[in-house]
Chain A
Amino acid sequence: MKREYMTTRDIVGPLMLVENVSGVTYGELVELEFPDGRRSLGNVLEVNEDVALVQAFQGTQGSNPSQTKVRFLGRGLTLGVSRDMLGRVFDGLGRPRDGGPEILPDKDVSIYGSPINPTARDFPDDFIQTGVSSIDGLNPLVRGQKLPIFSASGLPHNQLAAQIARQAAVLARSDDPQKVGEKLEGEFAVVFAAMGITFEDADFFMSELRNTAAIERSVLFLNLADDPAVERIATPRMALTAAEYLAYECDMHVLVILTDMTYYCEALREVSAARKEVPGRRGFPGYLYTDLATIYERAGRIKGRKGSITQIPILTMPEDDKTHPIPDLTGYITEGQIILDRNLHRRGIYPPVAVLPSLSRLKQKGIGPGKTREDHADLSNQLFGAYARGIQAKELAVILGEAALSDDDKAFSRFADAFEGEFIRQAEHEERSVEETLTLGWKLMTLLPRTELKRIKDDFVERYLPDMEG
């Protein structure tokens, strides 16, 4: 069967309409050869009788209808996976970018993966100590979770993600409180997918990983700002295919960082617009939710397998707007979100985690006796409550003046300041154990009237509240 054609009719943006084809299938991988000899990959988005709609991952610049060769490869888009990927850097389509040799694949797998059967999932419940108080104390991450960072331009999301990647450790579980908290050694790996970010940002991650020698346990897929935009649609799937191999076949605990999902979504929008699809909000396609879900839902744990995939997608909110479709739909899929706040950042607080709207939905599964400490949940609830009230008191003070506050409100307002200054704020290279984080939380509790500690069980207050006189 003839598999090579020069019958392109239309070229629109990244799309090509190829006529008089036969035997073409939906999703099929395509190789394009442009008049100047340049080659590019693509895939079939739609096939109608003898007409195929092809999206070109490296764009269509330099192509023309009559001289462009279109070869249908008879298979879908795959990634050759192997343990040897560790320590290597690939481009957004999974080809070596570091000058190293081609990978000898253990096998070729479709980058689209298959959905995990819900009955085969194991519920994520191992606490990951990130060493960051605003996460560990209040919005803890657990192994197998997907917890995005909602950021905005100019905020230090890269620093925070790198800090998490550097410090993340799983703690031993035990019924003996003395033994809880020891770091577990295990095989872990970092898979990093860059979509549309600058060389500088990518380089920052690489040098962070290099500095801690974590680079040998990392796989990087880079599609940078000046790389073809449509290629980005494949990049996170490349990364997750590698991650699934490492997690479920090599028993590794894999942390996947996907950045920046905003550029990924924009690439999707570009293709959708070229297809003249009916747009949803802000021009993004109506299937954006489903498309993102096929990425984020690839996080998790599977019963009977040792490895796991934890995802930290990063996205920058256009105009700092949480209701923009990208953060909005992400929030509807992920298991919580860590939101960074420009105000805290302006006031020099790192990491500028907006604690109140941030949320880790799996936290109740990951903390408590045997995992972290018995008082963790209550303390974290109380810190939330007190901080929320402190913020309200501060707003009131802005309107009515400090003097108009009741004694209690004054205490809460002082608490909020201390909470931001001591608990949320920490250095980029400061790693706090969860013990230290909790101790710090209790120290702040002493700023509040004891009768206000309503969300904490009495015995915990007895046991953990430091003596103020002492």
Chain B
Amino acid sequence: MEQGRIVKVAGPLVVAEGLALSRMYDLVRVGAEGLMGEIIEMRGTRCSIQVYEETEGLGPGDPVESTGAPLSVELGPGLLGSVYDGVQRPLDALEALTGAFLARGVTAPGLSREAKWAFDATVTVGDRVEAGDVVGIVQENKVITHRIMVPPNVSGTVQDIASGTYTVEQPVGHILTEDGSLEDLLLMQKWPVRVPRPYRGKLSVDEPLVTGTRVIDTFFPLMKGGVSCIPGPFGAGKTVTQHQIAKWSNAEVVIFIGCGERGNEMTDVLMEFPELVDPYSGEPLLKRTVLVANTSNMPVAAREASVYTGITMAEYFRDMGYNVVLQADSTSRWAEAMREISGRLEEMPGDEGYPAYLGTKLAAFYERAGKVATLGGPLPEGTVSGEDASADKAGSERIGSVSVVGSVSPPGGDLSEPVVQNTLRVVKVFWALQDTLAFQRHFPAIDWLTSYSLYLDKVKPYWVENVGTEFRPRRDHCMEILQRESELAEIARLVGVDALSPEEQILMETAKSIREDFMQQNAFRDDDQFTSLAKQDRLLKMILLFHEKALEAHAQGAPLKRIFTAPVRERITRAKYSEEDQMSVFDEIGSDIETQLVGEGLKVGDAR
């Protein structure tokens, strides 16, 4: 391989000479320790390299060796449950090599070379296969059937193939391509992270990603294949919200990218997810999760790469026909990494020092989300296990999706800054976190007045079919009440609640109930962290029934105080904690509301 030498070192950026045959985005090895780096600019005979490791001790004259290949990830059995840094070095393997602290120049392959996987072939010799076709499966764990696919850009006839036990490097068979060459069929593929994996076509999203977080699912839903962002000042609840989605959403695979955030948050996931049980499969959550952890104190160039590493993995599972949700926490730290590298390249800065291409990069990243018809034929029989949520897909076109949820950490919570603004141009769902809500410990601190979802029309048919025809009208009615509350609150603040009409006071009370008995959801309470759509609907129905009956009771003369302190209020408050299989609770509360408000109200009214 070509060897050059360093001429300049400035933090994570190294300039080298003598790499004329290398190409943009090729991976290089820098210095005697062979630190990983990537070519990001070429001018004349010089190329600029961003180095994924600490560069202290490097100097002019040190060698740089090209690898002739772009930064790629290894895709295959063993991904699930793993934790990687931003350039797919497995952190547990690094710990075994160098101990508790990360050392330089140490590396390990993304997929274990020792692990053996039981492979079941689903094609036979002589079959014609195209890119993306499934040739067999590895039952990676009880949850995920790892479908082994013909890599993109390969097609031909199966020359040989055999079920058996293999490492990721041992060919399970061979494909004879049109041009007569023989391609190894491996359990593992490699894919350059900066290139989106190909698919047959994009499809319109039509199914919600059910997260179990009430304010999201009901008020600002996200779709499978959709994109959303969570901006908010520090401590407003971005990470907790993303963890909740990683834990309880009905995606089959979760990719979590800790991009320039805290080490302890990664540890938290690593310690908690193996203990938590996936509500859909009954298996530990970690088995459907891949963690990319490039924390704030890890090298900033690897942070820049981490989002690409993560999304490439997401696309790979999508190509198998799964619904994947990718969480990037925080995209601001990614943008800052770009800004830092751009600054060292002495590029002309745009807004707030960010490079002029910030918007393009953000858009291109989010565009890798989506619901797609994948390459390759429909899933063959036997590649879909019984418990698999995508079971009904066997035999039809293969469809997969990547949903992306990106947190944004705007300086000072200021939403006019460049990362938020550029993100808003591409995402369809906006969950705006407010620190004032967080101070009141109203969690999730999603501001219902400024947040939005542009998927409300797309999700409607699903809601009608799977939740009920009344769900959408109830949701809209609640939204109206909340809107009205914000106007009335202003008046009440100036002249006192008593200046409001009784009807308005009832509305204020209902709004409070929507906020406290529905929206507020404690992520740390076992009986509160997940709510099904059916239960969300029942909760709304209950709150609105109280509203309606309160108005009726008032019309019949019941004093407001009596209405607001009806004993059933206590049950309404606790209804969100009721078990998922105890929907009868809502019938009881419903009849309590009827008897206590209207019956009682009448009596009181008569007595007067």
Binding site for B on A (CB under 8 A): 22-28, 45-50, 76, 110, 112-124, 144, 248, 277-281, 286-287, 289-290, 293-294, 297-298, 300, 302-303, 305, 322-325, 328-329, 331-333, 335-337, 356-357, 359, 361-362, 364, 381, 384-385, 388, 396, 399-400, 404, 406, 451, 454
- Please report the C-alpha to C-alpha distance between residue A362 and residue B267 in the assembled complex, in whole angstroms: 13
- Please report the C-alpha to C-alpha distance between residue A396 and residue B296 in the assembled complex, in whole angstroms: 43
In the complex, which residues of chain A have a beta carbon less than 8 angstroms from the beta carbon of B412? Answer: 281, 322-325, 328
Please give the distance in Å from B338's CB to the nearest CB on chain A. 10
Within the complex, which residue of B9, B56, B100, B296 is in contact with A297, where a contact is CB–CB below 8 Å?
B296
In the complex, which residues of chain A have a beta carbon less than 8 angstroms from the beta carbon of B268? Answer: 123
* Central interface residue in A45, A328, A399, by most chain B CB within 10 Å: A328
Is B340's CB under 8 angstroms from A286's CB? yes
Within the complex, which residue of A122, A248, A331, A381 is in contact with B441, where a contact is CB–CB below 8 Å?
A381
In the complex, which residues of chain B have a beta carbon less than 8 angstroms from the beta carbon of A122? Answer: 267
**Can you list 10 residue pairs at the A/B interface with Cβ under 8 Å?**
A49-B8, A112-B56, A116-B100, A116-B102, A280-B353, A289-B333, A294-B296, A331-B234, A337-B235, A396-B496
In the complex, which residues of chain B have a beta carbon less than 8 angstroms from the beta carbon of A289? Answer: 260, 296, 333, 336
In the complex, which residues of chain B have a beta carbon less than 8 angstroms from the beta carbon of A110? Answer: 56
Is B263's CB under 8 angstroms from A297's CB? yes
Chain B residue nearest to A281 in the complex (CB): B411
Is A26's CB under 8 angstroms from B300's CB? no
Ranked 5 nearest A-B pairs via Cβ? A323-B412, A293-B296, A25-B59, A27-B56, A120-B100
In the complex, which residues of chain A have a beta carbon less than 8 angstroms from the beta carbon of B61? Answer: 22-23
In the complex, which residues of chain A have a beta carbon less than 8 angstroms from the beta carbon of B494? Answer: 399
In the complex, which residues of chain A have a beta carbon less than 8 angstroms from the beta carbon of B440? Answer: 356, 385, 388
Is B55's CB under 8 angstroms from A26's CB? yes
- Please report the C-alpha to C-alpha distance between residue A279 and residue B352 in the assembled complex, in whole angstroms: 8
Within the complex, which residue of B293, B296, B352, B411 is in contact with A323, where a contact is CB–CB below 8 Å?
B411
Q: Cβ of B573 < 8 Å from any Cβ of A?
A: yes
In the complex, which residues of chain B have a beta carbon less than 8 angstroms from the beta carbon of A361? Answer: 235
Chain B residue nearest to A324 in the complex (CB): B412
Q: Kindly identify, within residues 85 to 140 of chain B, every residue whose CB is under 8 Å from any CB belonging to chain A.
A: 91-92, 94-95, 99-103
- Please report the C-alpha to C-alpha distance between residue A323 and residue B274 in the assembled complex, in whole angstroms: 37
Is B271's CB under 8 angstroms from A123's CB? yes
A-B CB pair tally, cutoff 8 Å: 199
Q: Cβ of B409 < 8 Å from any Cβ of A?
A: yes
Q: Cβ of B297 < 8 Å from any Cβ of A?
A: yes
Bits for B214-253, please: 1 = Cβ < 8 Å to A, else 0: 0000000000000000000111000000000000000000
If the complex has contacts A119-B83, A300-B264, A357-B439, are A24 and B295 also in contact, measured as CB distance less than 8 A?
Answer: no
Binding site for A on B (CB under 8 A): 7-11, 15, 54-61, 83, 91-92, 94-95, 99-103, 233-235, 258, 260, 262-264, 266-268, 270-271, 293, 295-298, 300, 333, 336, 339-340, 343, 349, 352-353, 409, 411-414, 435, 438-441, 493-498, 524, 565, 570, 573
Chain A residue nearest to B263 in the complex (CB): A118
Within the complex, which residue of A45, A76, A335, A385 is in contact with B262, where a contact is CB–CB below 8 Å?
A335
Chain B residue nearest to A118 in the complex (CB): B266
Please give the distance in Å from B419's CB to the nearest CB on chain A. 12
Please give the distance in Å from B57's CB to the nearest CB on chain A. 5
Chain A residue nearest to B7 in the complex (CB): A49
- Please report the C-alpha to C-alpha distance between residue A333 and residue B235 in the assembled complex, in whole angstroms: 10
Is B295's CB under 8 angstroms from A279's CB? no
Within the complex, which residue of A47, A119, A325 is in contact with B92, where a contact is CB–CB below 8 Å?
A119
Is B295's CB under 8 angstroms from A25's CB? no
Please give the distance in Å from A352's CB to the nearest CB on chain B. 17
Is A119's CB under 8 angstroms from B57's CB? no
Please give the distance in Å from A455's CB to the nearest CB on chain B. 9
* Central interface residue in A294, A297, A324, A329, by most chain B CB within 10 Å: A297
